[in-house]
Chains A and B, each alone.
Chain A
Amino acid sequence: MTSVGQDCGRDADRLGRGVDVSASADGDGAELAPPTSPWWLSGTPLEAEHQRLMRRRPVEVPWEQSTAGRLTDAERARLAGTWRRRAAAEYLAVSTFAVLSVDLVAARAPADVLSLCLRAGIDEVRHAELCLRMIEIYGGRRELPPPGMSSLPHDRNRPKLLQALANTMLVSCVSETYATTVLSATREVTTDPVAAEVLTAIYSDEVMHARLGWSYLRFALEEAGQAAIDAAAAMVPVALRGVANVVERERPEGEVTEAVRGHGLMTAAEERVIFSTCVREVLVPGFEALGIPCGSALDDYGDAWAHALDEVARA
């Protein structure tokens, strides 16, 4: 974890230098909104153009209305831990879409697919900024996301279209579609106005990130027929397991109280039910409607898997 206390050198300088967070003007004199997480900027003139990119979809987060001050220290620490993980995941997704775009370029994907994939990477930068700001709100520290790069499966012996399709299935059809489902459900229990607006902003982007995958899947099926169906079918269990790995992962320490839920968290048990519902009512019906067999997916992530933590709690 990167934090003020642990950083050294350039990062520490960036975090601690007291960046001017006031609004600035672009080249035409138009007012730009203050940056979301100014400590994560370069300190160069690039910042103004970055701000224009980030404001492609206006996000009016009422930062001053946060109710974090009403929480206990333990509750704020719990929330900071989750937003820290969210920041890391959103930051990693920048490179996920970058790598996916390489596959799509190699396959000569349609221009609209390429542009939206590249835009998705920019969206993820914005999401990471929002998450960093949330860490500051709950944790009281200005942090940076941990460095790193996403990795996607690669088989250089398979046709480029099928390679692109396989990773589109993983990244977009399954992961991003699940992300939209979980964000939609989380927003419903979120009462804090800042958390609600941040989650809504991320959700709004994820819908298109997910739709991108389903559109390319349809395109690829028409291009490659049975070969695409086979490639997609082979990826279904891999992609579902990939998301399940995230769902099953250990959580930050601390109780998810009702107050914490109001700031945009659910329990691990609830998340299992959401993923299971997503598999049963969204992913499998969608793949099967396109003629892609899903094997044992419904059984693998059915009621037994969804309620596994309930059984543990009762024991």
Chain B
Amino acid sequence: MKTRRDAASVIWRTVVVAGAMLGAPACKKDAPAPTVPTNNGGQVDPNSMDVHEHDGGDMYGGDMYGGGMDDGWDNPCAMRDDDGSGVTGRGFILS
């Protein structure tokens, strides 16, 4: 049976190292590559994630709503804290 440490190690490799391409060259050629910390010895083939170059562009441009939406529904993301309890994460309900 796997231990909790084994489970964390698997998630470290399959999710974090693979997803963030730790130790792999940058998406953009002029950016430095983050290093892989040694805590779990994560070894993942960086080529396993098919990431393409992109040209960046203006990621900050303009107001996406163009000021044209009603105050009452200006952004569905603004629906928060209806009960005043603050942010609640999702996770998975274990018990």
Bound-state CA distance A96–B91 (Å) is: 12
Q: Are B40's CB and A215's CB within 8 A?
A: no
Partner of B89, one of A206, A245, A270, A277: A245
- The number of residues on chain A lying at the interface, defined by a beta carbon within 8 Å of a beta carbon of chain B, is 88
Q: A246-B93, A289-B22 are in contact. Are A282 and B8 (CB under 8 A)?
A: yes
- If over half of B's interface residues share one DSSP class (helix, strand or loop), that class is named, otherwise mixed; here it is loop
Q: What chain B residues lie within 8 Å of A86 (beta carbons)?
A: 92-93
- The number of residues on chain B lying at the interface, defined by a beta carbon within 8 Å of a beta carbon of chain A, is 56
Question: Is A48 close to B, CB under 8 A?
Answer: no
Q: Are A219's CB and B27's CB within 8 A?
A: yes
Q: Are B4's CB and A273's CB within 8 A?
A: yes
Output the least CB separation between B57 and chain A (Å).
7
Q: Are A82's CB and B80's CB within 8 A?
A: no
Output the least CB separation between B38 and chain A (Å).
9
- If over half of A's interface residues share one DSSP class (helix, strand or loop), that class is named, otherwise mixed; here it is helix
Q: Are B93's CB and A215's CB within 8 A?
A: no
Question: Closest 9 A-B residue pairs measured CB to CB?
Answer: A214-B19, A242-B89, A211-B19, A243-B89, A151-B80, A154-B77, A286-B16, A179-B92, A175-B90
A-contacting residues of B (Cβ < 8 Å)?
1-2, 4-5, 7-12, 14-22, 26-28, 31, 34-37, 39-40, 49, 51, 54, 56-57, 59-60, 64, 74-82, 86-95
